Structure 1
Amino acid sequence: YAKALYAISKESGSLSNIQAQLLSLSEALNDQGIRDFINNPDITLSQKKTTINKVLESVKLASEVKSFVNLLIDRKRVTLLPEIATVFGDIVDNDNGVTRGSVISAKPLTDEALASLENKITQVLKKKIVLTAKEDPSMIAGVVAKVGGWTFDDSLETHLKNLNEELLNH
């Protein structure tokens, strides 16, 4: 499903718009009330489609997204939308040469620090890197970045562990 929507989106030149709309719809599907409505066997497919289309009309989605959601409803696959959106995003990233990763720090990173870290890892891996920052108050200081199979550990804990090993070996 994601590949088909990607091909249509790329052809129409609206990749980023459709990707953003898919993410918004995916977040909406995380709402338990909406999931209950979609999974309710007492509500006919026609009623579900009518109700969902009314909602889609009110939020001004691209015609490709509306058609895609209707296809998923018809095939009883609309609950797969979050996974489809994730795969769609992965395809877009791959096409753009982007690799995503995460960075964990004791305190929030500034935008400048995050951009600097992305640039450094981009230089090392020779790929465009986009990091998602997370906080871990249990860290003393430093950062740990994970991208693909790579881990870049510049945490104080690791530095102290390495220092301890050096001292014990000498």
Structure 2
Amino acid sequence: MYDFLDKRYARALYEIAKTKNKVEEFLSDLYEICEVLDKNKKLLKLLKHPEISINRKKEIFSNLFKGKIDDELLTFLYIVIEKGRILYLREKLNQLEEIYLEELNTIKGTVKTKIPLTTKQYDDLVEKLERKYNKTVLLETKIDEGIIGGIYININNQIIDGTINKQYEDLRNNLLKENK
């Protein structure tokens, strides 16, 4: 619902970071800030509390991050706090990363298999996906014990399901259709 808004915030931050030649630094700092928010339940509770003023919340962020992150990034965080969107900072980080990768003609994806891919299998897969999408592909590998065999790929929000599980499901559905 707020994807458009998150993207607008991210686009504005990206332009600032790009001007300062600090896109990777901003991404790294935002990732760390999101980790702090995810892991610190007391801080999260303070940020959610309706009786704690916006100025107090900004003061907390100032105490935590001033001098440790770029002033422009801290100002961005203040704006996000003022707009009541600080609890959704990770979405802005994700959008910022997406914008940055787009600029680099790069996409991210995930591949799931029952057993780890060999280096050659991984390299071959990345090469095929790069040809298909005409972009550099960053591929995260995950082991999924629920997969009987085959490979499951999610890249650029497109699913390529070559698992035995999927083939079994398709066969089952076809047989059920024929028996009706």
> Shorter-chain-normalised TM-score: which range?
0.7 to 0.9
Cα distance in 1, alignment partners of residues 165 and 51 from structure 2: 56
Where does 1:88-127 land on structure 2 (aligned, <5 Å)?
Answer: 88-109=96-117, 113-127=121-135
TM-aligned CA distance change 1:44 to 1:128, over 3 Å: same
Which has the higher mean CA deviation after the structures are superposed, 2-11 or 122-131? 122-131
Question: Structure 2 length normalisation: TM-score?
Answer: 0.76
Deviations, residues 2-34 of structure 1 (Å, cap 9, x unaligned) = 110000011111111111111121222223322
Which has the higher mean CA deviation after the structures are superposed, 34-43 or 113-122? 113-122
Question: Are residues 1:14 and 2:28 paired?
Answer: no
Matched with 1:140 is: 148
TM-fit CA distance, 1:134? 1.9
Matched to 1:91, the amino acid is: I
Matched with 2:177 is: none
Cα distance in 1, alignment partners of residues 118 and 37 from structure 2: 31
Matched with 2:47 is: 38
TM-aligned CA distance change 1:147 to 1:12, over 3 Å: same
**What RMSD in Å do the two structures reach over aligned CA positions?**
2.8
Cα distance in 2, alignment partners of residues 97 and 36 from structure 1: 39
SS at match of 1:30: helix
2:83 to 55, 75, 82: 75
Matched with 1:85 is: 93
Matched with 1:168 is: none
Cα distance in 1, alignment partners of residues 25 and 161 from structure 2: 35
Q: Which runs of 5+ in 2 are unaligned?
A: 1-8, 175-180
TM-aligned CA distance change 1:121 to 1:10, over 3 Å: same
1:53 to 49, 57, 62: 62
Matched to 2:53, the amino acid is: T
Identity, % of aligned positions: 22
Matched to 1:12, the amino acid is: K
Deviations, residues 41-80 of structure 1 (Å, cap 9, x unaligned) = 232222222122111137x112221111112122322112
TM-aligned CA distance change 1:110 to 1:49, over 3 Å: farther
Deviations, residues 94-124 of structure 1 (Å, cap 9, x unaligned) = 1111122211111234566434421221123
Q: Which runs of 5+ in 1 are unaligned?
A: 166-170
Which has the higher mean CA deviation after the structures are superposed, 24-33 or 152-161? 152-161
Number of residues of Structure 1 aligned to a counterpart in Structure 2: 164
Matched to 1:36, the amino acid is: K
Cα distance in 2, alignment partners of residues 104 and 160 from structure 1: 17
Cα distance in 2, alignment partners of residues 42 and 16 from structure 1: 35
